[in-house]
Amino acid sequence: MAADTIRSVEILFREQAASLDPLCQMLLVRVDEDWPMVRLWVCVPEPDLLTPYYGFSLCTRADLPLAPTLVAGCPEQFGRILQR
């Protein structure tokens, strides 16, 4: 993903989380792949919240590669769900 695309997804995520995630369950994480590739993953409490993320698809926690990095969201939630 290009830097400008990453930034636009981050802006969308922050706006959506601020208005639709009072329990701080949503996460935006990145996984660095072979340079310069970066892959973004969005954790949402309901599948309907994934709709605005064009090109994203549903996956399970097991589908997420090792070493994700938190971009936006609650650090405590990130630690509970994603750090192994």
Q: What is the pLDDT of residues 37-47, one digit of tens each?
A: 888 999 999 99
Q: Of the candidates 80, 72, 65, which has an alpha carbon nearest to the alpha carbon of residue 26? A: 72
Q: What is the pLDDT of residues 3-36, one digit of tens each?
A: 788 899 999 999 999 999 999 999 999 988 887 8
- Residue 72's DSSP bridge partners are 28
- What is the distance in angstroms between the CA of the first residue and the CA of the last residue of the chain? 25
Q: Other CB atoms closer than 10 Å to residue 41's CB: what's the count?
A: 19
Preceding amide of 45 cis, omega within 30 = no
Q: What is the pTM of this model?
A: 0.87
